[in-house]
Structure 1
Amino acid sequence: MCINISAKYVKELRNQTGAGMMSCKKALQASQGDMKLAIENLRKQGLASANKKSSRIATEGLIESYIHAGSRIGVLLELNCETDFVSRHSEFHLLAKNLAMQIVACPDVQYISIADIPQNIIDEEMRIELSKEDLKNKPDKIKEAIVNGRIEKRLKELSLLDQAFIRDTDLSISSLIDQKIALLGENIKIRRFQKFILGEGILKKKVDFSKDVLEVLHS
């Protein structure tokens, strides 16, 4: 049975190890809140040093492409690492392919992280939420709390790093990359991506490709 771990305790473990937030939370739950055991487990997994590598310059890597069955949607993705050696590694190539498929499967994803979302987009989402009918008669404090919660949820929908990995929904994309940093021993960064949808910009029926991608994964 998983115990409830406070965000403050998770942050403390992250500060001590440099591991990702989700990895820290899972380590604390597995150790029943024992900080020393959680640190030991993270070190065994190689995750304790992943965040420390995240500041290192990554200029090598590859450009991955994925065109979904039917050729109606495709993605180009640039994934960076530190050396040409890692850029040729099969795990790095698999990560790039999985990330490209992830982008196709997540129709709302437009940015790499929440930090990349322009302020004008955030302001527009805030304006939309504040104008919704179900908030009109609520007290200001309650309205503020509801809107902030909805905005946080919406920004995560737009951010690739905050998505649940389609092959393992208990794992976020951010944590997946942390795992590969630990495995390959180098910083790994998603530099950019571009999604191409057939007929985009023309008024037509919107198609959700997430179900199709999942069928490809399980076929």
Structure 2
Amino acid sequence: MTTISASMVKELREKSGAGMMDCKTALAETNGDMEAAIDWLRKKGIAKADKKSGRTAAEGLVAVASSGTKAVVVEVNSETDFVARNDAFQALVANVAKVALTTDGTVDAVAAATYPGGEKAVSDTIKDAVATIGENMNLRRSTTLSVGDGIVATYIHNQVADGLGKLGVLVAIESTGDKAALTAFGRQVAMHVAATNPLALTDAEIDPATVEREKAIFSDQARQSGKPEAIVEKMVEGRMRKFYEEVVLLKQNFVINPDLTVEKALAAGEKDFGAPAKIVAFVRFALGEGIERETSDFAAEVAAAAGKK
């Protein structure tokens, strides 16, 4: 049987918000499986669903660049926030984003592209910057969105310089309508995406495994009510509708006007656009998401250094 350590209980508490004893029981019941323990707590009604984006570890910057019907977002990491505030590093990241616009947006293509004002590739330029600035850094990810007719709006949250910050969003809208009106609306949707972090654009785009996991949890919760199976099915259907409203972009209440969903706000905006419009894709990059931070217990380190257990 897996030994349940204090650090495991602490991690589960941070992820679930449940009490210490509940977390210890959940881990014991699931043989130390962290994800299964979270599900166990949720089934018991002790923890809520968590759209985990990962614990942020890396520093650096996210950058966006656009040219009307095409835009790109890139993430370049550094070891410390101090370097991220460095003018030279900011210029480097901004130029990487500009270069990315000339490629298909994949990391390999951007890394191999020629850096502005020289003959070296972006990857080699970053290596040179490591030697100059004295800190490890890397191009972690990059992606692009484009439309045949319409706009790709961009947004940077907590902008530290033009097109640079810790969170970047792209929103692609297809339409033959007025580009200025579309861009203004697209920026509002991008701000909404930054705030709500939707899982997908539509119901169909959500990972089927995620849907099945939610259904299983809702089913277990509903059956605990002791109601007939037919009623349980209706309860699960209602909870799944609520789930989609919370995580699907088009079904979310628009943060700019909560009386409308994003989909209805788009339809209402067509009067200003002068033509039908469709949101076809979005991308959201939050700095360092999905990278585990190495943490240490300072008191434990001091105790260990003193020869204590």
What TM-score bracket applies, with the shorter chain setting the length? 0.5 to 0.7
Q: Does 1:94 align with 2:184?
A: yes
Relative to structure 1, is the Cα distance of residues 198 and 170 closer, same or farther in structure 2, using a 3 angstrom cutoff? Answer: same
- The equivalent residue for 1:106 is 196
User: Out of 131, 145, 152, which is 2:241 matched to?
Assistant: 152
- The equivalent residue for 1:77 is 171
Relative to structure 1, is the Cα distance of residues 164 and 79 closer, same or farther in structure 2, using a 3 angstrom cutoff? Answer: same
Please, which moves more after superposition, 111-120 or 153-162? 111-120
RMSD of Structure 2 on Structure 1 (CA): 2.2
More helix per residue? 1
Of the two, which has the highest radius of gyration? Answer: 2
Cα separation, 2, equivalents of 1:154 and 1:143: 16
1:118 Cα offset (Å): 4.2
Cα separation, 1, equivalents of 2:193 and 2:158: 15
Cα separation, 2, equivalents of 1:184 and 1:193: 19
Cα separation, 1, equivalents of 2:225 and 2:252: 31
1:101 Cα offset (Å): 0.2
Relative to structure 1, is the Cα distance of residues 133 and 126 closer, same or farther in structure 2, using a 3 angstrom cutoff? Answer: closer
Cα separation, 1, equivalents of 2:187 and 2:272: 17
Cα separation, 1, equivalents of 2:291 and 2:205: 27
1:132 Cα offset (Å): 3.0
Please, which moves more after superposition, 64-73 or 115-124? 115-124
1:140 Cα offset (Å): 1.0
- The equivalent residue for 1:120 is 209
User: Out of 280, 285, 299, which is 1:191 matched to?
Assistant: 280
The residue type paired with residue 103 of structure 1 is: V
1:136 Cα offset (Å): 5.8
1:137 Cα offset (Å): 2.8
Gaps of 5+ in 2: 1-146, 160-164, 294-309
Instruction: Specify which structure has the bigger relative contact order, considering alpha-carbon pairs within 8 angstroms and separated by 6 or more residues.
Output: 1
SS class of match (2:265):
helix
Gaps of 5+ in 1: 1-57, 205-219
Relative to structure 1, is the Cα distance of residues 186 and 147 closer, same or farther in structure 2, using a 3 angstrom cutoff? Answer: same
Cα separation, 2, equivalents of 1:198 and 1:157: 23
Relative to structure 1, is the Cα distance of residues 203 and 133 closer, same or farther in structure 2, using a 3 angstrom cutoff? Answer: farther
Cα separation, 2, equivalents of 1:60 and 1:121: 33
1:113-132: CA deviations, max 9, x gaps? 22433433322221121233
